[in-house]
Structure 1
Amino acid sequence: MAKVTLTEFLTLDGVVQAPGGPDEDRDGGFEHGGWLVPYADEDMGRFVEEGFRSADAFLLGRRTYQIFAAYWPRVTDADNLVANSLNTLPKYVASRTLDGVGWHNSTLLKGDAVQEVAALKERLEGELQIHGSGNLARSLMAHGLIDEYRLLTYPVILGAGKRLFDGGAVPAALERTGGRTTSTGVAINTYRVAGPPGHGSFEPQE
């Protein structure tokens, strides 16, 4: 069975919309695209590369797939680990609106995304990575299909935009398995799902 990991860039108030550029996603009149760029540094780059080193396949939503497919095939540097991984490894694209996917080694999942991913988890081995793909990620979280979270939280508040945990996620307790802070103040934390959340009370016991 495959392990599904989710890597997301998010603000302190949980926004994941359009981190890399102004035109990535303007839904809802979003005007803060590219908010990640001022905080990019070598520390962040190293963490991203470490993540891609463990990938066996990728799972992408339509918008993220189109952004990646327009950029990464043009990166031909033999030493670029991210480009080599994305350009060669299997890519599964969840979309009901795309007619086809032309990027090398890509497969279109046109059915119900939750059912398709659940079947992929059963069929594949290794690590199935999701990058970005906020709509898809929220659908999978609502059905408990994410096994590990890799969250890069940036020291910026936007007050508007699509959020990762925006209702509908299955309640879960997470175990922190790693973390660091970059030179620009980005908090990088990894968590694995450890089961249902526990509960208690600070009320005095009689």
Structure 2
Amino acid sequence: MGKIVVSENVSLDGVIEIAAEDDGSRFGSWFDWMGDEDRKAWAEVEFEEAMSAEALLMGRLSYEWFLARGWQSRTGAWADRLRSLPKYVMSSTLKDLGWENSTVLKGDLADEVSALKREVDGDIVVYASSGLVQALLEHDLVDELRLIVYPFVLGGGRRLFGGTSAKKPMRLVETRTVGDGLPFLVYRSVRVP
């Protein structure tokens, strides 16, 4: 049985996506906020996660973000691993799949992801994909949250948690420090009967 693992970079105030009106000039990117040692340690965590994943699940915009940055043709062990993994993209509009081993899921989100969890044995990692993540949380499809927390309050942007129709209990199962001071937190969903 597959496990949906949401992997996010997040600010102290829960922002995972800088506001669209900010072209990057006001805040820069997540990677501008790290020193070299933190960036190296972050990359090690992300590489380990990719190596232990059995599949990726993304929204259309995140999939296109990876394509725009050339992940489909990059070299190196991390890029090779991402290229080899099956990639599933929730989208009703995506037509061109420019990354090998990619499949578009166009049906009902809850049905498609539930079927995917039955088909894949292991971690199905969700990178970024804020809208998809919020829908997965709403449908109780998230099994684990992995958060790298940046020591900044941004005050604006898309937050990890939007409104939900009910409480979503989580249990902290792991903490460690990445690099010089980035908390890495792992939460597992607590299924209430």
Task: Give the TM interval when normalised to the shorter protein.
Answer: 0.7 to 0.9
Q: Contact 1:143/1:169 (CA < 8 Å) preserved in 2?
A: no
User: What does 1:50-89 correspond to in 2, within 5 Å?
Assistant: 50-70=48-68, 71-77=70-76, 80=77, 82-89=78-85
Match of 1:193 in 2: 189
> Cα–Cα, structure 1 residues 180 and 168, in superposed 2: closer, same or farther, change >3 Å?
same
How far did 1:169 drift?
Answer: 6.5
User: What does 1:1-206 correspond to in 2, within 5 Å?
Assistant: 1-18=1-18, 27=20, 29-31=21-23, 32-39=27-34, 40-70=38-68, 71-77=70-76, 80=77, 82-168=78-164, 170-196=166-192
Give the match's secondary structure for 1:137.
Answer: helix
CA-based RMSD: 1.8
- Work out the CA distance in 1 between the residues paired with 2:163 and 2:28: 23
Identity %: 37
- Work out the CA distance in 1 between the residues paired with 2:87 and 2:124: 9
| CA displacement 1:118-162 (0-9 Å, x = unmatched) | 121122222111111111010010010000110111001110000
| Matched pairs, number | 185
Q: Contact 2:31/2:39 (CA < 8 Å) preserved in 1?
A: no
Q: Contact 2:59/2:89 (CA < 8 Å) preserved in 1?
A: yes
- Work out the CA distance in 1 between the residues paired with 2:163 and 2:14: 12
TM-score with structure 1 setting the length: 0.83
| CA displacement 1:87-115 (0-9 Å, x = unmatched) | 11110011112123131010011122222
TM-score with structure 2 setting the length: 0.88
Unaligned runs of 5+ in 1: 19-25, 197-206
Greater C-alpha Rg? 1
How far did 1:170 drift?
Answer: 4.6
Which structure shows the higher strand fraction? 2
Q: Contact 2:56/2:85 (CA < 8 Å) preserved in 1?
A: yes
The list of structure 1 runs, each at least 4 consecutive aligned residues, that deviate by more than 6 angstroms after superposition, is none
